[in-house]
Amino acid sequence: MPAPGLRPLSASSWAWLHDRTDWGYSNSGLIMSEGQALLVDTQFTLHAAEELLSAVEAVCPREHIGCLVCTHQNGDHTWGNQLLPGAEIITSAAGAAGLCQEMGPEQLTALIHSGRTGAAAAYVARHFAHFDFTGITVMGPTRTFQGREDVKVGTVLVELIDLGAGHSAGDVAVHVPDEGVVFAGDALFSGAHMVVWSGSLSGCIRACQRLLDTGADVFVPGHGPLLDRSGAAEIRDRLSQVAEEATGHARRGVPLADAARRVMAGHASSWAHPERLFTQTAAAYAEAGVAGVPSSTLAMVEGMASLAC
Ligand SMILES: [Zn+2]
């Protein structure tokens, strides 16, 4: 597997990229100017966060990181927060409100080692058993915002954009307007299908458009390799196609499980994790007003596991 690396993107921006699409290997970002630094997301485990911060030391001392922006509250982006105890932690108000619904490290560890049989337990064990969540204390935001907020890092203007509910209950993007760079969090998955935890596929599509509307040329996705404008537009367009097809199935009364199978048959392509199309289909069903659509994390995992079999 490729080793993660810190890559310069512009005069003041760096991306910590895993260049892999497996669950849990998220990207992070660094913006540094005049002895001040802002970090975007902190990885899944303390080991991964320490690896990131060690690499950051090549650019600036970690003590210079006064501001940490969480693109959303999923553990694979926030469970290293405690390694920056002095930093302000910022996310959107909607993202902070969703924190109480997130699975904690103990719950995830218990689920992995529950010994339960069945497709969902096997799926979780296959994708998460190799991570060590020991010692993690979940640290939520110290400050929230709504809409948009400008932050200065040294002489660099940084725009925090509240994308609303899409991938998660509250997604945030970090934009460096003078350098054409966007850190998109999981509003963009590169080389893999989007997972929708929030039940809003239309929100995911709107978020892609909002990112493109910044005019940026470089997009750091939450997972996978860097994207350019055409890559971000392709993700928007594919989500739109899935939304249209899934909504059609919902209107014709096709059961969700059957619809998800049909959507996967038509849209799997070469991208990783086509089983995540279950979550996109379920989100489209919820938005179409279909009653009884499952929405819990476990139900989404069960749906994905059934498609992955
Ligand atoms: Zn993620």
Nearest in space to 166 (alpha carbons), one of 207, 134, 115, 117: 207
Tell me which residue range forms the domain holding 294. 5-308
**Residue 102 pLDDT:** 80
Distance from the alpha carbon of residue 86 to the mean position of ligand 1, in angstroms = 24
Distance from the alpha carbon of residue 1 to the mean position of ligand 1, in angstroms = 18
Distance from the alpha carbon of residue 81 to the mean position of ligand 1, in angstroms = 15
**Residue 113 pLDDT:** 87
Angle at 121 between CA 120 and CA 126, to 5 degrees: 100
**Residue 150 pLDDT:** 98
Distance from the alpha carbon of residue 250 to the mean position of ligand 1, in angstroms = 28
3 state DSSP class of 178:
helix
Distance from the alpha carbon of residue 33 to the mean position of ligand 1, in angstroms = 27
| Beta-carbon neighbours within 5 Å of ion ligand 1 | 26, 76, 186, 222
**Residue 103 pLDDT:** 86
pTM of the shown model:
0.97
Distance from the alpha carbon of residue 251 to the mean position of ligand 1, in angstroms = 31
Distance from the alpha carbon of residue 26 to the mean position of ligand 1, in angstroms = 5
Instruction: Please report, for the domain that includes residue 57, its CATH number.
Output: 3.60.15.10
Distance from the alpha carbon of residue 34 to the mean position of ligand 1, in angstroms = 30
Distance from the alpha carbon of residue 255 to the mean position of ligand 1, in angstroms = 28
- Alpha helices, DSSP H, located in 146-228: 201-213
Structure-token pair, residue 172? 């945030």
**Residue 115 pLDDT:** 79
Distance from the alpha carbon of residue 124 to the mean position of ligand 1, in angstroms = 15
Structure-token pair, residue 132? 């060590």
Distance from the alpha carbon of residue 163 to the mean position of ligand 1, in angstroms = 15
Distance from the alpha carbon of residue 187 to the mean position of ligand 1, in angstroms = 9
Residues in the chain where the model's pLDDT stays below 50: none
Kindly report the number of other CB atoms within 10 A of residue 282's CB atom.
26
Residues sharing a CB contact under 8 Å with residue 202, sequence separation 6 or more, in sequence order: 243, 287
Determine the Cα–Cα distance for residues 225 and 17; give it in Å rounded to an integer: 7
How far is the CA of 169 from the CAs of 99, 101, 199, 309, in angstroms?
9, 9, 9, 28
Q: Are 277 and 307 in contact (CB under 8 A)?
A: yes
The region that residue 163 occupies, defined by phi over 0 for left and psi between -120 and 50 for alpha, beta otherwise, is: alpha
Distance from the alpha carbon of residue 170 to the mean position of ligand 1, in angstroms = 13
pLDDT in tens, 50-72: 999 999 999 999 999 999 999 99
Determine the Cα–Cα distance for residues 274 and 134; give it in Å rounded to an integer: 30
**Residue 292 pLDDT:** 94
Distance from the alpha carbon of residue 58 to the mean position of ligand 1, in angstroms = 25
Distance from the alpha carbon of residue 43 to the mean position of ligand 1, in angstroms = 9
Distance from the alpha carbon of residue 194 to the mean position of ligand 1, in angstroms = 10
Distance from the alpha carbon of residue 28 to the mean position of ligand 1, in angstroms = 10
Structure-token pair, residue 308? 């992955």
**Residue 235 pLDDT:** 98
**Residue 45 pLDDT:** 98
Determine the Cα–Cα distance for residues 118 and 121; give it in Å rounded to an integer: 6
Residues sharing a CB contact under 8 Å with residue 273, sequence separation 6 or more, in sequence order: 21, 23, 192, 193, 195, 304
Number of domains in the chain: 1
Which residue shows structure tokens 């100017």? 33
Structure-token pair, residue 134? 């020991």
